[in-house]
Every structure is written in structure tokens, then in C-alpha cells.
Chain A
Amino acid sequence: MTSELILFFILAIVAVASAVGMLLSRNAVYAALYLILNFATVAVFYLMLSAAFISLVQVTVYAGAIMVLFLFVIMLLGAEHTGRLSESGWMFWTPIVLGAVLAVEALYIILRQWKAIPATQAAGSDFGAPAAVGLELFQNYLLPFEVTSVLLLVAMIGAILLARSKKA
């Protein structure tokens, strides 16, 4: 086993454990902290896949900003202690059934095409580097980049309108 494979398995255990911890914790704030750990682990996965830019975005946007939003929502709902949800009915069984279907599908594909999957499908190691992303984004994908700013503007105005409807 190479050192990268060992690292992958350690991180995979951490990722799965933090995801399970998030699902099982009674306190919603603890669940959010588990989710941050999970996001950080996934960021390292992206690094291992030589997608450095995505990894950085994962840390900045997801582990940073999205988690701040989650924590604010948890605190403004006063939902730190969710308690035990109803464990019967469709809310409990639907995710289990869907998860089982996904697991069976994945297992089927892996078992059937084990030999067919190439060992490495990696693009060049600088494919996901910030410099390569920057060149693509600011030369070939200029219009989508500028349209993104309009999208952000719309989201900004929408958020302000929703949260301050009384004064406007």
C-alpha cells in the first residue's frame, strides 16, 4: 500500500464516522460541528484528487460560510435540542430504503466492472490547480463568470428583501 492509500483509508474512516456522528447527535450544534469535520475531510479528498481549487472552495465556502449560516439558523430557531424525532413512518424508512438502493447499485457496479475500471484516470496533476482554473475561467468562460456576479446580486437583493420586508 502506498502512503496515499493509507491516508485515504484513514480519512475515509474519519469522514464516515463524522457523518454518522452528525446524524446521531441529539444536539444540533454538535451535529453542525461534525459536519464541519466532514467538510474538512472531503477537502483533503479533493486535494488527493489534485483538485486544489475545489478543495479551497470547500473549506472557504462550505466549512466557513455555509456552516455559519447553519449555526445561525439553528440558533435563531432555538433548535439546539431536537430530541428524538418520530422513528416510525415514512420519515424514518424512506432514507433507509433509498440508501439501501444506492448501496446495492454501487455494489453491483463495483462487482461487475471491477476489472473494467482503470487503475488511474487522473488528468494532469495541474488540471485542478488554481492557476489552470483561473486561465480557463477568465479566458474561455468569461461570460459565465460575469453572469455569476448577476446571480450573486439577485441572491443578495432577495435576501435583503425577505429579511427586511417590513421596512422596505
Chain B
Amino acid sequence: MLIEYLPIAILLVISTGLAALIVWIGNTFGPRRPTLRKSLPYESGMNPIGPGTRRMPVRFYLVAVLFILFDIEVVFFLPWAIVFRQLGLFGLIEMFVFIFILLVGYVYAWKKGALEWE
């Protein structure tokens, strides 16, 4: 039962291992001569202004909430896509209704300028 997911487990192990290996090789064989200028946070070549962890504007919150909502919409697509052929035309229509209602929200977000960054 769980053995079906073995490929995903192998993928995770190999990708994690490869990432760790690359970091390890870089740390072990790379030369390391830190100067003050090199260890400063990189800010497009300028001298850094203020701390690296400053407060973010509230706009990001709106982006995150909209992302969650559309993410939940995507979650519904997955079981639908699997049984799409079994459901036939009826399934297509009900998904169109679902998408249409959410499209209203999308148009609202667009018109209100929630997708714009001033």
C-alpha cells in the first residue's frame, strides 16, 4: 500500500542528499577568506541601509490571502481531473460553474486593483 509511494521517497532522499552534498563540497574544498566587506549583506552592491529583517508592507498579506484562496481552488481540480472522463459533460459543467463563481472574485480583485503594486 505505502510501497506505491516509494518513488517519491527515493526522489526526496536523492534530492536532499544531492543538495547536502553540493553544500558540503563547497564548504570543504572552497577557499574561505572572509573580509568585512564580503560578509556584509548583499544589497545590489550598495552599502546596506538598515537591518536585513525590516517590517514588510501589509500588501504582502493580501497577496498571501489571495494565494491561499486560489490554492484551495486548485485543490479541487485534482480529484476532478482524475475522474473527469467518468463524470463526462456533467462534470465539465459543474466545474465551469465553480470556476465562474471564483472568476467573479478574480475580476473583483482585478478591478479593485488588489493585483497591482503601487
Chain A contacts to B: CB under 8 angstroms: 4, 7, 47-48, 50, 53, 56-57, 60-61, 64-66, 68-69, 72-73, 75-78, 80, 125, 130-131, 133-135, 137-139, 142, 145-146, 148-150, 152-153, 155-157, 159-160, 163-164, 167-168
Closest Cβ of chain A: how far from B81's Cβ, in Å? 8
A164 engages B69 (CB within 8 Å): no
A69 engages B65 (CB within 8 Å): yes
Residues on A with beta carbons closer than 8 Å to the beta carbon of B91: 138
A53 engages B79 (CB within 8 Å): yes
Residues on A with beta carbons closer than 8 Å to the beta carbon of B87: 135, 138-139
Describe A's contact surface by its main secondary structure: helix
Residues on A with beta carbons closer than 8 Å to the beta carbon of B58: 76, 163
Residues on B with beta carbons closer than 8 Å to the beta carbon of A148: 76, 98
B67 engages A68 (CB within 8 Å): yes
The 9 closest A-B pairs by CB, nearest first: A134-B79, A134-B83, A156-B105, A78-B55, A163-B62, A149-B101, A159-B65, A65-B68, A65-B71
Interface string of B17-55 (1 = CB under 8 A from A): 000000000000000000000000000000000000111
A64 engages B71 (CB within 8 Å): yes
Residues on B with beta carbons closer than 8 Å to the beta carbon of A77: 55
Given contacts A65-B67, A156-B108, A159-B66, contact A145 B94 (CB under 8 A): yes
Residues on A with beta carbons closer than 8 Å to the beta carbon of B78: 53, 56, 130, 134
Given contacts A130-B79, A131-B82, contact A76 B114 (CB under 8 A): no
